[in-house]
Amino acid sequence: MKSAAAAFGILTALAIGELLVRLFLPAPLPWKYPQVQFVASEELIFALKPHQQTYTADKPVRTNERGLRGRSLPHEKPKDTVRILMLGDSVVFGFAVREEDTVSVQLERILTARGIKAEVINAAVPGYNTPQEIAYLRTDGLLYDPDWVVLGYYWNDINKKRGVLVTDDGALVSDRDDLERSKTFLARLERSPLSFALRNAVKRSRLLYGLMQLYARVSARNDSPSSHAVLRMDVLSGNTSRRVEAGYARVDAALAELVTMSRERGFAVAMAVWPAPLTFKQEFGKDAFPVRVSALAKRHDLPVIDLEQTFRPHFDGHASLFVPYDGDHPHAQGHLLAAKAIAAFLLEHK
């Protein structure tokens, strides 16, 4: 009898805890199976797999015959149409965002409502850096005969991607050692539908998921920061290091090629600089990320759309503009704000 009463008390306490936590913590997104898949590419290192029906977190993804997210469009541009090619990584692609809510689709919707016959092409690929984006423009993007190329820029676009490989089931790994590990039974099990289902079951309890997040944070404080975390702070703070400077040198060379192509092919260019959530949670110095990127763009006479200034008046906690528990990606509302800012720029410069 006592054990039954104790069990009832524990279950009641857990239920109350779950209800209380739900008042303060947003729901984590389930990750449906399968997630976005890639193929190896000689020119681009990797690219999105064509004709896929997958997910980005819990949101459906479709790619066309050329491996771009969204509907199929012929290379030939319709008469009297303004074509805008959106380049970028997973931020512009729309991680955890429905296709109809991505910046590309919302931008086309806004321009159409203003009486402009526009086609906006989402050529962003998760994991790309700036040199890959410019390489895509050179190898395939120019075939769409864009009037505008909007280069989405995020802090991690200075990362080096040479050496990234694609597993036999379409996932990205950083090197050959990781590729070999991806073939083991445990690695395959981790990427299996069963593993996805188990993780999503855990996410249904916000109390349990919140405790796991708390444990991960505490553990991270006791461990040395990862190379990714160090690079992020260096870039956002405007600190210099060999890795940062080498990354910016690659971006500088890519921007120079972009400007050359724009002059030769007659399209206009703008850089849309996307903010990291961390920039709204702590102060960075005068040489912080947007300042450094703006100076880089100015060297090449490229106009900059600073989306940090667009986001800041609307930021009211992480979940107001960004995917819950994610350190990088805006959700649908963030994409809408970006679309409005880009549309305003394009309308001003049409």
pLDDT tens digits along 31-49: 999 999 999 999 999 999 9
Q: What 3 state SS string does the chain have? A: CHHHHHHHHHHHHHHHHHHHHHHHCCCCCCCCCCECCEEEECCCEEEECCCCEEEECCEEEEECCCCCECCCCCCCCCCCCEEEEEECCHHHHCCCCCHHHCHHHHHHHHHHHCCCCEEEEECCCCCCCHHHHHHHHHHCHHHHCCCEEEEEECHHHHCCCCCCEECCCCCEECCHHHHHHCCCHHHHHHCCHHHHHHHHHHHCCHHHHHHHHHHHHHHHHHCCCCHHHHHHHHHHHCCCCHHHHHHHHHHHHHHHHHHHHHHHHCCEEEEEECCCHHHHCCCCCCCCHHHHHHHHHHHCCCCEEEHHHHHHHHCCCHHHCECCCCCCCECHHHHHHHHHHHHHHHHHCC
pLDDT at 219: 73
Is 8 part of a structural domain of the chain? no
CA gyration radius, the chain: 22
- What is the reported pLDDT for 95? 98
Residue 100 included in any domain: yes
Distances (CA, A) of 71 to 99, 119, 254, 292: 10, 11, 28, 36
Number of folded domains that form the chain: 1
Of 163, 87, 9, 238, the residue nearest 1 (C-alpha): 9
Q: What is the pLDDT of residue 287?
A: 62
Tokens of 285: 């110095």
Contacts of 261 (CB under 8 A, 6+ apart): 134, 137, 138, 142, 267
Whether the Cβ atoms of residue 305 and residue 272 lie closer than 8 Å to each other: yes
Instruction: Quick: pLDDT tens for 152-175.
Output: 999 999 999 888 999 999 999 999
Q: Tell whether 98 is covered by a domain.
A: yes
Residue tagged 């192509």 (tokens) = 261
Residue spans of the chain under pLDDT 50: none
pTM given for the model:
0.94
Nearest to 213 by CA among 343, 57, 324, 342: 324
User: Does residue 19 lie in a domain region?
Assistant: no
Q: Which amino acid is at 208?
A: L
Domain, as residue range, for 216: 38-348
185 part of a folded domain: yes
Q: Which residues of 269-290 are buried (b: 16+ CB within 10 A; e: fewer)?
A: bbbbbbbbbbbbeeebeeebbb
pLDDT of the residue at 263: 97
Whether 247 is in a domain gets the answer yes
**CATH number of the domain to which 207 belongs:** 3.40.50.1110
How many C-beta neighbours within 10 Å does residue 121 have? 23
| Residue 16 counted as domain residue | no
* Residue 254 CB-density burial (10 A; 0-12 exposed, 13-18 middle, 19+ buried): buried
On whether the CB atoms of residues 310 and 338 are closer than 8 A, the answer is: yes
Considering the domain boundaries, does residue 20 fall inside one?
Answer: no
- Smallest CA-to-CA distance from 302 within 268, 276, 275 is with 268
Q: Do 138 and 264 form a contact (C-beta atoms < 8 A)?
A: no
Backbone angles phi, psi at 40, to 5 degrees: -70, 150
- Encoding tokens for residue 37? 């898949």
**Amino acid 301: pLDDT:** 96
In angstroms, rounded to a whole number, what is the distance separating the alpha carbons of residues 341 and 152? 13
Q: Which token pair is 101?
A: 């809510």
